[in-house]
């Protein structure tokens, strides 16, 4: 399968070829890739693509997997509507 | 960032900070023919305030200095894609900033602001609530008394803009070292001598402090007291949806800024009154306050799912205006800090002004109101009011 046909990040539509292009330019960490290509920044918050990105960095730069830092995990785990947050606060206030 | 360059033991110019200010200074210096420029970043490019900011670009300020810096910076951004010959898209969108007022005091201040902005050539206008709603139809006018609008304000991708400066500067020979922390700066006989880092020591005559929320720490290393303080500011992003909002909507009294990015996601933030610190952690208090404020002013966005929240640092100066300056005490020490939350949008002028100072060229703007010395003399009189 061609690298351009392998989708790594479904939320932000990033292919393996996109990653290779950035690797060639010297971007070698998850945090950098995230910032340039939005990989891992969509609704799934790297829950789908995260491990694959980590694995591809390790392979390309010939590093062991544990030496490749995972993306910084931030809240939320799941998307929550702003209205739902507001309503929850209103309930507490009552 | 992978680099094949060996770490140097000498350089002409050492720039501390790989955020937007640092990369802009690097590019401006290199573009003017300066050689042997090194940029040091403790983490990776745009790790700090640049990569955490709200991505807004506006000219609607209350002080002359800020309006002029912002106006000239926008002129740069309009041409940045070509000027920097960037191979990606900086995602610059000029669909305006709508500033919403909620009481008579704000209405009066807004009129004064617009007068100043127009006198400096910025196409800002004063609007009635009804006119504001024509620009942003989902705006809830309850409690809204006036607005101002500038159509050439907008949005710009901070990561891509930083990347564009970085790539262009690299092409001109600038060396970048990420994951390189500055531990100390040696000053001898009132002159910069060297910079000590986790990768080695670099001898240099000129150091430029562009360390954002950590600028005061770098100043201290050189023995220069910079009266700036950092404060944690939070922000969140929603899932992307089809386009429903052109301008950034902000309100100082309601404490909110909210914009739909070209990508489709909504970004919003506010500034809560907190102790000064260098903490970059998220809180649920922010989330709750943000949800209440945002759904009141822009009700339909309550239906959007928040997917991530994060925090960054505002680096406040005593008058909320930038410090773009040399030092009277230490020769060769320059600083670009104290942007008070607006360093990203002013970066092109930051780079231009610092490069002029460092290379001894005449300045393209009046730098008195940007100098470090304005605080020593007690000359800082005008406070920037338009800060969220």
Among A53-67, B56-70, B113-127, B372-386, the minimum mean pLDDT is found in B372-386
A7: containing domain: 3-93
Q: Which pLDDT score is estimated for A30?
A: 96
A61 at B interface, C-beta within 8 A = yes
Please list, in sequence order, all residues whose beta carbon lies within 8 angstroms of the beta carbon of residue B91, skipping any fewer than 6 positions away. B155, B156, B157, B160, B261, B262, B263
A43 to chain B: which residues are within 8 Å by CB? 239, 305, 307
- Which CATH number do you get for residue A40? 1.10.10.1100
Question: Which two tokens mark B195?
Answer: 């910079």
A91 — pLDDT class (breaks 50, 70, 90): confident
Residue B380 has pLDDT above 70, yes or no: no
Model pTM score: 0.96
Q: Which string of DSSP letters, residue by residue, matches B137-150?
A: TT---TT--EEEEE
Looking at chain B, which residue has its C-alpha nearest residue A89? B288
| A3-61 pLDDT per residue, tens | 999 999 999 999 999 999 999 999 999 999 999 999 999 989 999 999 999 999 999 99
Q: Which pLDDT score is estimated for A77?
A: 84
| B84-98 pLDDT per residue, tens | 999 999 999 999 999
User: Is the CB of residue B19 less than 8 Å from the CB of residue B159?
Assistant: no
Residue B260 has pLDDT above 90, yes or no: yes
User: Is the CB of residue B42 less than 8 Å from the CB of residue B217?
Assistant: no
Q: How many CA atoms lie within 13 A of A56 on its CB side?
A: 27
> CATH 3.50.50.60 in chain B, residues?
13-52+159-227+319-376
Q: Which pLDDT score is estimated for B272?
A: 86
B376 — pLDDT class (breaks 50, 70, 90): confident
A81 to chain B: which residues are within 8 Å by CB? 302-306
Give the mean model confidence (pLDDT) for residues B271-298.
94
| B130-156 pLDDT per residue, tens | 999 999 999 999 999 999 999 999 999
> CATH 3.30.9.10 in chain B, residues?
93-154+229-316
Backbone angles phi and psi of B190, in degrees to 5: 75, 15
Question: Which two tokens mark B147?
Answer: 């607005």
Longest pairwise C-alpha distance within chain B: 63
| B200-229 pLDDT per residue, tens | 999 999 999 999 999 999 999 999 999 999
Q: Which string of DSSP letters, residue by residue, matches B173-227?
A: T-EEE-S--EEEEEEETTEEEEEEETTEEEE-SEEEE--GGGHHHHHHHTT----
What integer best gives the mean pLDDT of chain B? Answer: 96
Q: In residues, how long is chain B? A: 388
Q: Is B279 left (phi over 0), alpha (psi -120 to 50) or beta?
A: beta
Q: Which pLDDT score is estimated for B205?
A: 97
Residue B82 has pLDDT above 90, yes or no: yes
Q: Which pLDDT score is estimated for B276?
A: 94
A83 at B interface, C-beta within 8 A = yes
Q: Which pLDDT score is estimated for B87?
A: 95
Complex ipTM more than 0.90, yes or no: yes
Which CATH number describes the domain made up of B13-52+159-227+319-376?
3.50.50.60
Q: Which string of DSSP letters, residue by residue, matches A10-73?
A: TTTTEEHHHHHHHHHTT--SHHHHHHHH-TT-STTTTTTTHHHHHHHHHHHTT--GGGSPPPPP
Which of A35, A45, A48, A63 is the best residue to mutate to test the B interface, defined by the most B CB atoms within 10 Å of its own CB?
Answer: A35
What total number of domains does chain A contain? 1
- CATH fold of B93-154+229-316 reads D-Amino Acid Oxidase; Chain A, domain 2 (3.30.9)
From the list B46, B304, B310, the residue facing A35 with the nearest CB is B46
């Amino acid at each position: 399968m061609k690298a351009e046909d392998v989708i790594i990040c479904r939320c932000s539509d990033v292919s393996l070829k996109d990653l290779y292009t950035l690797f060639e330019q010297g971007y070698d960490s998850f945090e950098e890739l995230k910032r340039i290509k939005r990989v891992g920044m969509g609704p799934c918050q790297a829950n789908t693509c995260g491990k694959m990105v980590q694995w591809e960095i390790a392979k390309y730069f010939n590093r062991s997997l544990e030496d490749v830092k995972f993306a910084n995990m931030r809240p939320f785990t799941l998307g929550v509507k702003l209205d739902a947050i507001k309503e929850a606060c209103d309930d507490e206030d009552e | 960032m992978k680099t094949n360059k060996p770490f140097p033991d000498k350089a002409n110019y050492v720039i501390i900070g790989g955020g937007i200010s640092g990369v802009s200074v690097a590019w401006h210096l290199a573009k003017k023919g300066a050689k042997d420029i090194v940029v040091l970043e403790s983490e990776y490019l745009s790790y700090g305030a640049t990569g955490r900011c709200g991505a807004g670009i506006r000219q609607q300020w209350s002080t002359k200095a800020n309006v002029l810096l912002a106006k000239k910076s926008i002129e740069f951004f309009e041409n940045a894609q070509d000027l920097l010959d960037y191979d990606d898209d900086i995602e610059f969108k000029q669909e305006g900033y709508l500033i919403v007022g909620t009481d008579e005091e704000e209405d009066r201040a807004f009129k004064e602001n617009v007068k100043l902005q127009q006198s400096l050539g910025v196409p800002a206008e004063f609007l009635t609530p009804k006119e504001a709603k024509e620009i942003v139809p989902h705006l809830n006018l309850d409690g809204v008394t006036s607005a101002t609008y500038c159509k050439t304000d907008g949005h710009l991708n901070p990561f891509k803009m930083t990347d564009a400066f970085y790539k262009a500067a690299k092409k001109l020979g600038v060396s970048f070292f990420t994951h390189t922390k500055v531990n100390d700066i040696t000053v001898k006989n009132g002159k910069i001598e060297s910079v000590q880092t986790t990768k080695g020591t670099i001898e240099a005559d000129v150091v430029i402090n562009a360390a954002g929320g950590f600028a005061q720490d770098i100043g201290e290393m050189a023995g220069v007291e910079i009266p700036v303080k950092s404060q944690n500011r939070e922000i969140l992003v929603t899932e992307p949806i089809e386009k429903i909002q052109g301008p950034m909507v902000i309100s100082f009294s309601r404490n909110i800024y909210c914009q739909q990015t070209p990508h489709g996601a909504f970004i919003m933030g506010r500034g809560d009154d907190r102790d000064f610190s260098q903490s970059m952690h998220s809180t649920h208090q922010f989330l709750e306050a943000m949800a209440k404020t945002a759904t009141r002013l822009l009700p339909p966005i309550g239906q959007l799912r928040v997917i991530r929240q994060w925090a960054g640092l505002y680096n406040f100066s005593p008058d909320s205006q930038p410090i773009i300056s040399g030092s009277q005490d230490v020769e060769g020490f320059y600083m670009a800090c104290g942007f008070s939350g607006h360093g990203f949008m002013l970066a092109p002028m930051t780079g231009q002004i610092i490069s002029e100072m460092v290379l001894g060229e005449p300045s393209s703007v009046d730098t008195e109101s940007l100098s470090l010395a304005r605080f020593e003399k007690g000359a800082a009189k005008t406070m920037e009011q338009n800060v969220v």
